[in-house]
Amino acid sequence: MPVEADRLHVLVADDEPHIGRIIKMKLEQGPFAVTLAYDGREALDALAHDRDVALVMLDLMMPHLSGLDVLARMRSDARWQRLPCIILTAAGQEQHHREAMALGASEFLTKPFSPKKLYARAVDLLGVSEEQDQGDAGEPRTPGS
């Protein structure tokens, strides 16, 4: 297991605490440290206060600011323009998918999703080496929202 300082920091924003916990448990099996936020404003605050975030995972439907609102603000700020972002949603409407991709989302996953697939996308987006990767064990799917 990597030392905390060697871990890649992932910000996960989802207003459903159980989804955040599932993602956190899966990612922290590997080379990731996870910060959880429960709405769009918390996600932006976390980004503003932590310069080491390597990847953001945003639920589409959250209080205060949606995942798309957060993504739009990320892409309009030079600090976060190139930061990889995965959008997670129970609302798998094609319009949301197109809008997320147009805003620069790296991936769009519909709930219920496989934590193993989400982990694999994080590994791929961040270029994690096989030596760093220790979290490839299978996991159950997340519950639908």
First to last CA, the chain: 32
Residue at 105 is within a domain? yes
138 occurs within a structural domain: no
- CATH number for the domain spanning 98: value is 3.40.50.2300
Q: Tens-of-pLDDT digits for all 145 residues of the chain?
A: 445 568 999 999 999 999 999 999 999 999 999 999 999 999 999 999 988 999 999 999 999 999 999 999 999 999 999 999 999 988 768 888 999 999 999 999 988 889 999 999 999 999 987 676 765 544 444 444 4
Task: Give the count of beta carbons closer than 10 Å to the beta carbon of residue 116.
Answer: 16
pLDDT value of position 38: 97
- Which pLDDT does position 4 carry in this prediction? 59
The residues that bridge with 11 in the sheet, in sequence order, are 35, 56
Domain carrying residue 71: 4-126
Q: What is the rounded CA–CA span in Å between residue 54 and residue 123? A: 11
Asked if residue 145 belongs to a domain, the reply is no
In whole angstroms, how far apart are CA 119 and each of 23, 29, 36, 40, 63? 8, 10, 16, 22, 25
> Is 16 among the domain residues?
yes
pTM value > 0.75 = yes
| Separation CA 83–CA 71 (nearest Å) | 10
Q: Is residue 102 part of a domain?
A: yes
Cis ω for the linkage preceding 31 (within 30 of 0): no
- On the CB side of 7, CA atoms within 13 Å amount to 19
For residue 135, tell me if it sits in a domain. Answer: no
Residue 4: Cβ within 10 Å count: 8
Q: Which residue has tokens 């439907």?
A: 61
Residue 130's pLDDT is 67
The distance of Cα 72 from the centroid of its chain, to the nearest Å, equals: 15
Domain total for the chain?
Answer: 1
In a domain, residue 132? The reply is no
